[in-house]
């Protein structure tokens, strides 16, 4: 039965120079078949040139309930962004 | 090889040249692709798992694409596909064999795709009339071969039931494999005996990894050897054509 | 931090106040067009409603393969055959996207398939009608896929992220489905007399069932109001149905085919087409299982699943053997290396 066919997450690189992005998921008995199924399912209109498959169970995700405490600290550090700094008019390439 | 070149390059026909040889060869290769694609198309809605619906359809579409190019080299693709009588089809008896269970379909894919891949790789490397098509198709056949291999491993080395089914399917289709290595008129520059050796070695290696062995028994029975290539087919083929052709034939001259 | 069971998001252990706070926060987020993602807290009814809708949608895609696959082996030209195979393949793919989206809510594809096979979950009733002629392939593409697209485009903005993302992909692919159907019918309509008659007959048979695809009238629709509030649904059944009729009428004219409704006419005042009464008795009857192909469709689906069981088991057994083999090899290597 397919309950023994684990779920895999599929990441596709659409062209050189871009990173792999999540395309969706599928079932496959093992990594080799997952890769092939992913090729058939997620690149049949020429959407990709490289595929990663990862067992869904192997992904560790941050908890949604922690999203405020987890991500809030990064919101109050505007000095990490270039727009924080004032540059006098007429100064270029900065 | 030299014969067809002569026609193309200087229009002078040497003694051994027949002008219909390229169309005839195109038809032969095209019929293989057309009929196998049709059989794979019968799986739609019946595959063992959704992912396999997508995979089988991809292979069927590749083959149909090849068939269209090849039949168009021989004439009008639809006239050739839908208006020829059974005895005019040149396809291998192997490709017309009914789907059977999934193991039979995979055994048929294993035998045919390993043959087609070897053949197209050779054609792609040459400079004959089929080189451009073969160069594109060989990428497809590499995938078909891989698909058949992956499933042969899983069925052969899966459960006792899958192993028994795969064994039975390999044996049942074995007698249709000899025909693949009968030289095809107009498909030049191919060393068919060497092709057969490579095929035996490659298929044998996959079967060994799957814990299986090459079937024993003849691959060239008096009836089966070269019969499809001469227009002699098996009984189920007539029904396949009846189904495939009936609508087109019911409306003579209509456009679709 | 809030103690919510991450797998199910159930708030059963929470105090009533906290539950109400979460529900209010959820409603506010959805109303503000924020997207809900799989591990977020969500009301149980929202989850159930989504699973029901996504499952029904996925089931419809894979049952919907059958009426069209019925014509793959008889397609009258190689070009049409390739198009039809690609289309039926897309439907398998769409089923896959949707089952995957449903799985993000913790319901496995196997569970959903079991519910389909046992009749506990429905698929779109339209697929319980037979495809009797080649023209039906065109009518399905033009009308059934047309109605489906009308229904589905708004779901690309559904509040549930995975469903919305699956729909974006599906809608992109669907537009080819509708066009090929229209083009197929156009060829028939402009073809021989017999072909034209075939096209008209198909449109006659598929028009009303296509209108029924939008579901019962708004005042009889059980799930509509809540689905709208949750931004799972964006427009009412009747609104979408009207939109579809208004789109289809000029297309039928371009095809040179007649829509089988004597009451169909432009209403200047409303700025829409009026159309005749839908036979809802037929709709409910087909939904209850008395359509022309209900048993056949579910029977074939079940058979494919059962006959494929040994294949799925074989691949699982192989994977297990070989992962055990790898693990043993790794252990041996580690031991040798003194790890």
Structural domains present in chain A: 7-61 (3.10.20.520)
- The mean pLDDT value for C233-258 works out to 95
- The mean pLDDT value for B199-228 works out to 87
CB contact under 8 A, A37 and B51: yes
Q: Is the pLDDT of residue C63 over 70?
A: yes
Residue B60: phi and psi, rounded to 5, are -60, -40
Evaluate whether B53 touches C89 at the Cβ level (below 8 Å).
Answer: yes
**A59 touching chain C per CB within 8 A:** no
What is the value of pTM for the model shown?
A: 0.90
- Closest C-alpha among C122, C85, C145, C171 to residue C294: C122
> How confident is residue A47, by pLDDT bands cut at 50, 70 and 90?
confident
Q: pLDDT averaged over chain C?
A: 90
Lowest mean pLDDT among B59-73, B221-235, B240-254: B221-235
Structure tokens at B83: 């208006």
Say how many CB pairs under 8 Å bridge A and B.
26
Lowest mean pLDDT among B59-63, B147-151, C215-219: C215-219
- The mean pLDDT value for B45-68 works out to 96
Q: Is the pLDDT of residue B11 over 60?
A: no
Q: Is the pLDDT of residue B120 over 60?
A: yes
Q: What pLDDT does residue C8 have?
A: 43
CB contact under 8 A, A2 and C89: no
Q: Is the pLDDT of residue C326 over 80?
A: no
| Calpha distance A23→C93 (Å, rounded) | 13
Q: Is the pLDDT of residue C259 over 50?
A: yes
> Which one of A32, A41, A44 has the shortest CB-CB distance to B51?
A41
- Element counts in chain A: helices (H) and strands (E): 2, 3
Q: What pLDDT does residue C323 have?
A: 85
DSSP 8-class letter at C278: P
Q: Where are the beta strands (DSSP E) in B56-174?
A: none
- The mean pLDDT value for B227-256 works out to 95
Q: Is the pLDDT of residue B3 over 60?
A: no
Q: What pLDDT does residue C6 have?
A: 37
> How confident is residue C336, by pLDDT bands cut at 50, 70 and 90?
low
- H/E/C letters for each residue in B137-198? HHHHHHHHHHHHHHHHHHHHCCCHHHHHHHHHHHHHHHCCCHHHHCCCCCCCCCCHHHHHHH
Q: What pLDDT does residue B222 have?
A: 53
Say how many CB pairs under 8 Å bridge A and C.
62
Q: What pLDDT does residue B17 have?
A: 45
The ipTM, to two decimals, is 0.91
Chain centre distance of CA C161: 17
- Closest C-alpha among A67, A27, A58 to residue C109: A27
Q: How many CA atoms lie within 13 A of C247 on its CB side?
A: 18
Evaluate whether C91 touches C64 at the Cβ level (below 8 Å).
Answer: yes
Neighbours of A46 (CB within 10 A): 8
Q: Calculate what percentage of chain B has a pLDDT beyond 90.
A: 84
> Which one of B101, B157, B247 has the shortest CB-CB distance to C318?
B157
**A5 touching chain B per CB within 8 A:** yes
Q: What pLDDT does residue C10 have?
A: 47
Q: Is the pLDDT of residue B210 over 90?
A: yes
Nearest CA in chain C to B60: C85
Q: What pLDDT does residue A46 have?
A: 84
- The mean pLDDT value for C182-198 works out to 98
Q: Which residues of C touch A27 (CB under 8 A)?
A: 109
Those chains having 3 or more beta-carbon pairs within 8 angstroms of chain C are A, B
Mutation target among C99, C117, C316, C320 for the A interface, most CBs of A within 10 A: C316
- Closest C-alpha among B89, B82, B34, B43 to residue B62: B34
Lowest mean pLDDT among A43-52, B40-49, B193-202: A43-52
> Which residue has 């829409």 as its token pair?
C272
Best mean pLDDT range from A65-69, C7-11, C173-177 = C173-177
> How confident is residue C19, by pLDDT bands cut at 50, 70 and 90?
confident
Q: What pLDDT does residue C334 have?
A: 62
Pairing of strands A21-27, A7-13: antiparallel
Q: What pLDDT does residue B133 have?
A: 95
Nearest CA in chain B to A33: B150
Q: Which residues of B touch C92 (CB under 8 A)?
A: 47, 50, 53-54, 57
pLDDT, tens only, C261-319: 999 999 999 999 999 999 999 999 999 989 999 999 999 999 999 999 999 999 999 99
Q: Is the pLDDT of residue B2 over 50?
A: no
Residue B115: phi and psi, rounded to 5, are -70, -50
DSSP 8-class letter at B223: T
Residue A65: phi and psi, rounded to 5, are -70, -20
Q: What pLDDT does residue A2 have?
A: 45
- The mean pLDDT value for C60-75 works out to 97
- The mean pLDDT value for C181-190 works out to 97
How far from A60 is each of A55, A57, B178, C41, C65, CA to CA, in Å? 11, 8, 53, 18, 36
pLDDT, tens only, C91-138: 999 999 999 999 999 899 999 999 999 999 999 999 999 999 999 999
> Which one of C80, C92, C316 has the shortest CB-CB distance to B256?
C80
């Amino acid at each position: 039965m397919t309950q023994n066919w684990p779920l895999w997450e599929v990441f596709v690189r659409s062209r050189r120079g871009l990173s792999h992005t999540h395309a969706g998921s599928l079932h496959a008995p093992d990594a080799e078949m997952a890769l092939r199924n992913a090729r058939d399912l997620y690149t049949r209109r020429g959407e990709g040139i490289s595929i990663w498959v990862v067992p869904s169970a192997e992904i560790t995700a941050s908890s949604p309930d922690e999203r405020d405490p987890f991500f809030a600290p990064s919101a109050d550090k505007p000095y990490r962004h270039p727009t924080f700094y004032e540059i006098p008019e007429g100064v270029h390439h900065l | 090889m030299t014969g067809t070149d002569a026609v193309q390059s200087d229009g002078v026909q040497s003694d051994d040249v027949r002008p219909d040889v390229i169309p005839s060869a195109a038809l032969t290769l095209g019929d293989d692709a057309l009929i196998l694609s049709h059989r794979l198309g019968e799986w739609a809605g019946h595959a063992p798992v959704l992912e396999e619906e997508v995979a089988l359809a991809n292979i069927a579409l590749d083959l149909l694409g090849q068939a269209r190019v090849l039949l168009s080299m021989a004439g009008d693709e639809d006239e050739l596909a839908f208006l020829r009588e059974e005895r005019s089809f040149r396809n291998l008896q192997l490709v017309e064999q009914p789907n059977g269970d999934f193991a039979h379909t995979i055994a048929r894919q294993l035998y045919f795709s390993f043959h087609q891949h070897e053949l197209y790789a050779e054609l792609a490397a040459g400079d004959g009339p089929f080189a451009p098509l073969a160069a594109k198709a060989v990428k497809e056949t590499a995938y078909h071969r891989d698909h058949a291999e992956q499933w042969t491993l899983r069925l052969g080395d899966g459960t006792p039931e899958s192993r028994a089914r795969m064994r039975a399917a390999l044996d049942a289709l074995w007698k249709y494999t000899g025909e693949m290595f009968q030289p095809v008129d107009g498909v030049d520059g191919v060393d068919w005996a060497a092709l057969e050796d490579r095929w035996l070695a490659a298929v044998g290696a996959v079967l060994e990894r799957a814990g299986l062995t090459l079937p024993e028994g003849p691959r060239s029975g008096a009836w089966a050897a070269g019969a499809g290539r001469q227009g002699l087919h098996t009984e189920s083929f007539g029904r396949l054509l009846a189904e495939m052709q009936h609508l087109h034939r019911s409306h003579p001259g209509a456009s679709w | 931090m809030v103690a919510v069971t991450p797998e199910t998001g159930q708030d059963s252990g929470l105090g009533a106040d906290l539950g109400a706070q979460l529900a209010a926060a959820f409603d506010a987020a959805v109303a503000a067009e924020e997207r809900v993602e799989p591990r977020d807290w969500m009301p149980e009814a929202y989850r159930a409603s989504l699973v029901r809708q996504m499952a029904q949608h996925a089931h419809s895609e894979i049952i919907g393969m059958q009426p069209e696959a019925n014509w793959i082996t008889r397609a009258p030209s190689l070009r049409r055959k390739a198009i039809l195979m690609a289309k039926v393949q897309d439907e398998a793919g769409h089923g896959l996207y949707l089952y995957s989206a449903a799985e993000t809510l913790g319901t496995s594809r196997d569970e959903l398939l079991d519910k389909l096979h046992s009749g506990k979950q429905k698929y779109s009733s339209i697929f319980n009608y037979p495809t009797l002629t080649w023209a039906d392939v065109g009518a399905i593409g033009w009308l059934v896929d047309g109605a489906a697209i009308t229904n589905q485009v708004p779901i690309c903005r559904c509040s549930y992220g995975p469903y919305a993302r699956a729909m974006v992909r599906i809608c992109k692919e669907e537009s080819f489905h509708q066009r090929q159907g229209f083009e197929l019918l156009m060829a028939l309509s402009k073809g021989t007399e017999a072909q034209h008659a075939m096209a008209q007959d198909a449109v006659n048979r598929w028009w009303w069932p296509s209108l029924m695809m939008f579901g019962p009238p708004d005042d009889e629709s059980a799930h509509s109001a809540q689905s709208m509030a949750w931004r799972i649904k964006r427009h009412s059944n009747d609104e979408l149905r009207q939109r579809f009729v208004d789109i289809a009428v000029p297309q039928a004219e371009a095809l040179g085919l007649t829509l089988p409704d004597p009451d169909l006419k432009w209403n200047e005042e409303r700025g829409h087409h009026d159309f005749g009464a839908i036979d809802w008795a037929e709709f409910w009857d087909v939904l209850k299982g008395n359509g022309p192909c209900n048993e056949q469709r579910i029977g074939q689906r079940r058979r494919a699943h059962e006959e494929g069981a040994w294949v799925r088991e074989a691949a699982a057994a192989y994977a297990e053997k070989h992962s055990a083999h790898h693990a043993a090899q790794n252990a041996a290597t580690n031991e040798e290396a003194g790890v």
